[in-house]
Chain A
Amino acid sequence: MSAPSLTPSKAGRPRHSQPPPAGPPSPGGSFGRSLKRNLTAHGFLIGAVLCFAFFSWYPMVREFFLAFQKTDQGEVSWVGLDNLRTVFNDPAFWQAWRNTLLFTVLALVFGFAVPFVVALVINELRHGKGYLRLLVYLPVMLPPVAAVLLFKYLYDPGYGLLNELFGSVGLPEQQWLQDPDLSMLSVVIASTWMNMGGAALIYLAALQGIPGELYEAAELDGAGLLRKIWHVTIPQTRLILSLMLLMQIIATMQVFVEPFLLTGGAGPEGSTTTVVYLIYQYAFNFNDYGAAAALGLLLLVLLAGFSAAYVKLSRAEDE
């Protein structure tokens, strides 16, 4: 069987081929009429627009200019591409990008798949769904710093619970956060545990919106569990999965708190230095706000590129 398309049929789309009938001219034109009709709505919008303007858009615009300026507190001077040169010449620059990409890939493998599987399991349960939902969501309610410090104790090579467990079943102790080969993976596992509750609930909501008859039809066709997931669940949740994928890429590329608290930022031999940690170093250790803004701009451009590519791909698919 094929999954029903989620795009509205052409027949159902509003037609705009005919121009609207010309009415009597009004002083404000159609914009004025629309404004008057939606006055209350616009009133409500103003607050949000002002908040976004002051706290989101203005800092973004300011950052753009800052990337080409040198600021010595009160004094600002234009330095062209000097800040970008500083950033490119930093020995940690490429390592930070490699680490960030590694974190993103690992976070997608773990952070994307695990919550989806958890949501599938909860969705299949007949009893205790509510309790399990609560249990899965519990870590999200912990303050991030507390959750990270909890993992720091778990991972401690001297007296950590994880090595105790390994020892009790005869496995060799590991240097979790202190081994350059394991450090990033350990950070990803902690991060996944902290954040999976929210993602799992979103997947669960999407799963519960799938009509039961589709599964019944699939069962009549002789589909087993895996085939049902492949042919019904995934196509039905495709849009939410794509959206979560994009959001996860954007969020994981800005990772900072977990490596900063677990490994002191850079990690063994710089193995957990991320791009945002480097921005933090420029801004708050070296007081070089221009270089911090330049690196932030590079990250912004990359993430904007991801978003644009995603929007284009999803549009092409819809059409």
Chain B
Amino acid sequence: MIKRRAGRTGQYLALVGYLVFLGFPLLWLVSTAFKPPRELATLHPTWWPKHPTLDNFRQAFDEQPLLHAALNSLLVALSSAVIAVLLATPMAYVMARHRSRLSRAATGWVVVSQAFPFVLVIIPLFLILKRLHLINALPGLVMVYVVWTLPFALWMLTGYVRAVPRELEEAAAVDGAGRLRTLVSITAPLLAPGIVATGLFAFITAWNEFFFALVLLKTPEKQTMPIILTHFIGAEGVADLGPLAAAALLATLPSLLLFALIQRRIAGGMVAGAVKG
């Protein structure tokens, strides 16, 4: 009994430690965003600003088109996530349910493709998009992000499909449901947490992506948040730290909000719901 209690205390301590470890950068970002310049470079930094100021936010908004960039990022990330999920779901279903040499080879290729470095693909990609007149255009960037996230999304969703018991689909078939009806009414709802998780992965990947956006977007009105953030950094890595932290905090909020809104969907048990009925 004592042993079990000690074990549980240890688990909680480890969890708290992990949460602090994860939360510290965010806490520091918030603190830095509200600090005046003189509090940013002290030998003994404080946890919280002694004289909190909104000047960093004011300066960040004055210098860079943050709202416009955030809207661009939102459009690109949402579009990429939705398209990636729409494409990946039926593909994942086929790969999970019809296992063959071909589907195994496809899965292998998916895993290998994740190892390609960005620089390997950027120039051919640039030339293709140029021919399609999609340089400096958000749909071009969406296309790239969909292609880039699709393999991993597919791999993720295949796992979720495999976790849906085949017996449920067979039972539906016995009850007279057609294949499409079974997919839409039985499988898809059970896959919802997986679809949400995959969509979130695609969204965050696109929201944070820097290199493709840097290369493909030319004019300020098209640029996304990660590009705008680099404008607060000068030669030799010198940074305008206060405004940079303020802008970075704003860039972090949408991902956090989205995650807070849908995390229950991800955490919700899927197969548990199926067997209750």
Are chains A and B native binding partners rather than an unrelated pairing? Answer: no
